[in-house]
Structure 1
Amino acid sequence: MNKKTSVQYIPISIIIPCFNDHKAFSKTLESIQAELKSADEIIVVDSSKIKSDTKKILKRYNNLTIHYNWHRPNGVYFAQNTGISRCTKQWIQIINSGDTLTYGARKIINDAITSNPDVEIHVFSQTSGVDGQYWCTYTPSDKGIWPHQSTIISKRTYDNHGSYDTRYKIVSDQVFLSKIRKTTRFKLYEHPLTYYDLKGISSKINIQLSKELYILWRSLGCSHFMSFIKSTILPATRVIMSMIVGDEKIIKIKALIKRNHRLAKK
């Protein structure tokens, strides 16, 4: 009888930026606790006003390897860069407070890494909704937006390409991902790895936001004209429609008309 070959367990680092919302932070940690093993590590980058509140939460998770860092508030990308610089494992995932790992995600990550030793970036799908309700699942494409929190990146990739540009407030991760995919081997997966809570999504329209979105779409290869439409007209239309019919219906309509969106299974 042949002996079963044991699958190698590849440790990962998960970075969690935290900024005052400790309820959301606890929610994220709870989902991660159910998935990680002692070989993995969590890098917490905290900018909360009362750091003792964050540390109090961390005491509940003494079965996890957690490295705590506090810095003055300087934007989410500064926090993510700080976390990357503190990682000791060879694979890195970033999950913002309030968002969660899906059930079985850690095994899926391990299987992807061990089955594809020449791949440096693993990009999974992402489910979104509000308050734990699953509305829509987004599946990435080679030329589109990649769900940042569902993307597992080798530490070597960050060493070779640098970190996130802190000049941007909302698009730095996507600009970085659009750059590294041009020279780094990646693989796309349909399985949703994370749940993204839309409650905190911005419904405002302003010049700065449009400028950043324009930069994002240009980095993904869109023409000047289409980048303008996607950074100004479409966001404005979405905000107006959201006020009329609500966010959930907007998301569900998108799932019906776009091939890379689908209604999520409950």
Structure 2
Amino acid sequence: MQNGGLRTRGITKTSTPEHPLITVVTVVFNGEATLEQTIQSVVNQTYDNVEYIVVDGNSTDRTLEIIKKYEDKIDYWQSEPDKGIYGAMNKGIALANGDWINFMNSGDSFYNTKVVSNIVKLFSPGNSYFGDYFDLSQNKILKQNKQKDVLLSNINHQPIFYYLNLLKANKFDLSYKILSDWYTNLKLFKLKKFIYIDYIIANYEGMGVSITRRDDFFYKNYWSNIFKLYGFTSIFKVFFRRLFRKLIYLLNTK
């Protein structure tokens, strides 16, 4: 394993009640084309208590060269083979020291340089937060809302700030290769500790693995997970709401 960053030189960051530490994790594999814009969007945040961790999956292109270019701005980076994107994200969770954690993987970026400083003042211990994002592939802002029903659709991880202690106890299940974050969100939403922020948090590349591939194992277990986490009545609620959505879609496409 290769590693580096400020932490390897004994430079660490700490949290205070007035100035919480925010961890941002970037997961990357052979990301030379997109990584630098992601790094810049993190290190240029005006909030000055951001812990930045980069987890590389043993890239064979110029990824490591780009990471080392920002050696003095990245708190910790490591490069070694991993077990896919969620295995790498779990490594980031284990390495994080912040109060909250965000995953801004290669190709995605913060919407502007003031995102963290503008929203961190709204944070309170124990809660996780999610906001809106700009979908680069569709060239439009995708709004969430405080009534977001994660049983029907997932929230992309880019606009989420998870309360770290909560996520450490609910790491991503590697059985789900593409939609493990949805399964995690299903578990965490049940705790009623997710709060919506009406703010654009991220630029989303929109061409990641969750768009180009399907997680058949997740969908195979979808209904059993709903039952296990939310109970029998939720099965009917979700079924009829999905049916209603499909009917509306069919009517609008005629």
* Aligned residue number for residue 176 of structure 2: 168
* Aligned residue number for residue 223 of structure 1: 235
What is the one-letter code of the residue matched to 1:167?
Answer: S
1:211 CA drift (Å): 4.0
1:184 CA drift (Å): 4.9
1:50 CA drift (Å): 2.5
Structure 1 position 212 matched with structure 2 position 218: yes
Q: TM-score, normalised by structure 1?
A: 0.70
* Aligned residue number for residue 143 of structure 2: 138
Identity of aligned residues (%): 21
Pick aligned residue for 1:194 from 182, 195, 202 = 202
Distance 1:216 1:190, change over 3 A: farther
Distance 1:93 1:36, change over 3 A: farther
What is the one-letter code of the residue matched to 1:125?
Answer: D
1:143-186 per-residue CA deviation (whole Å, 9 max, x = no partner) reads 22323121111222124x33110011111111111111222522
Two-structure CA RMSD over aligned residues (Å) = 3.4
User: Could you tell me how far apart the structure 2 residues matched to 1:11 and 1:193 are?
Assistant: 17
User: Could you tell me how far apart the structure 1 residues matched to 2:143 and 2:70 are?
Assistant: 31
Distance 1:84 1:134, change over 3 A: same
Distance 1:111 1:105, change over 3 A: same
1:96 CA drift (Å): 1.4
* Aligned residue number for residue 9 of structure 1: 19
Structure 1 position 112 matched with structure 2 position 122: yes
**Residues paired across the two proteins, number:** 222
Structure 1 position 44 matched with structure 2 position 54: yes
* Aligned residue number for residue 94 of structure 2: 85
Distance 1:69 1:203, change over 3 A: closer
1:202 CA drift (Å): 5.7
Report the secondary structure of 2:24's partner residue.
Answer: strand
User: Could you tell me how far apart the structure 2 residues matched to 1:10 and 1:146 are?
Assistant: 24
1:238-258 per-residue CA deviation (whole Å, 9 max, x = no partner) reads 9xxxxxxxxxxxxxx99xxxx
Where do 5+ consecutive residues of structure 2 fail to align? 1-16
Pick aligned residue for 2:193 from 185, 188, 194 = 185
Q: TM-score, normalised by structure 2?
A: 0.73
What is the one-letter code of the residue matched to 1:66?
Answer: D
Report the secondary structure of 1:198's partner residue.
Answer: coil
